């Protein structure tokens, strides 16, 4: 797997790459008090952000290094299904690229805490892929 660069928002959430499986990055978002909702559980927005970053990292890992350095990803649509409340604990995420075309990628992402079989959320998304115009 080539080096995957994460979005600046990933740094804000504390997300980092902790491994890979079949060339797909495994991400972790360490728990912090700033990620909680009013009930003390994980905020759905933070979990959704993790899923989006996992999707982009998975697409990024499929591109060659030249494309990877220049690609810009923009969500077209995102559907997040919350399966169970997130506890005050680290959250892991991985995404599966269903298809990468010339301009659009289809991705499924999953998030869990202690057990990858007990998902806390999943997401299906389409992202536009564009390369900056060179002058």
Specify if 94 maps to a domain: yes
Note the pLDDT tens digit of each residue in 61-84.
Answer: 888 765 555 688 999 999 999 999
Q: pLDDT at position 1, please?
A: 42
Specify if 87 maps to a domain: yes
Note the pLDDT tens digit of each residue in 83-125.
Answer: 999 999 999 999 999 999 889 999 999 999 999 999 999 999 9
* pTM over the 0.85 mark: yes
Query: Which CATH number is 121's domain given?
Result: 3.10.129.10
Note the pLDDT tens digit of each residue in 7-27.
Answer: 788 999 999 999 998 889 999
Per-position b or e across 89-128, b if 16+ CB within 10 A of its CB: eebbbbbebeebeeeebbbbbbbbbeeeeebbbbbbbbbe
Domain that holds residue 23: 8-130
Specify if 135 maps to a domain: no
Angle, alpha carbons 30-35-41 (nearest 5°)? 100
Question: How many folded domains does the chain comprise?
Answer: 1
DSSP SS3 for 83: coil
Specify if 3 maps to a domain: no
Specify if 24 maps to a domain: yes
Note the pLDDT tens digit of each residue in 26-60.
Answer: 999 999 999 988 888 899 999 999 999 999 999 98
Here the tokens at position 65 are 């290094």
Specify if 1 maps to a domain: no
């Amino acid at each position: 797997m080539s080096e995957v660069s994460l979005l600046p928002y990933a740094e804000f959430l504390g997300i980092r790459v902790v491994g890979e499986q079949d060339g797909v990055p495994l991400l972790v978002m360490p728990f912090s008090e700033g990620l909680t909702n009013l009930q003390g559980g994980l905020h759905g927005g933070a979990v959704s952000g993790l899923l989006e970053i996992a999707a982009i990292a998975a697409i990024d890992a499929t591109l060659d290094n030249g494309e990877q350095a220049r690609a810009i990803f923009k969500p077209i649509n995102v559907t997040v299904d919350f399966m169970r409340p997130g506890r005050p604990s680290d959250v892991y995420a991985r995404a599966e690229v269903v298809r990468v075309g010339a301009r659009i990628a289809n991705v499924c992402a999953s998030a869990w805490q202690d057990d990858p079989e007990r998902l806390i959320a999943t997401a299906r998304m389409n992202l536009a892929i564009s390369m900056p115009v060179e002058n």
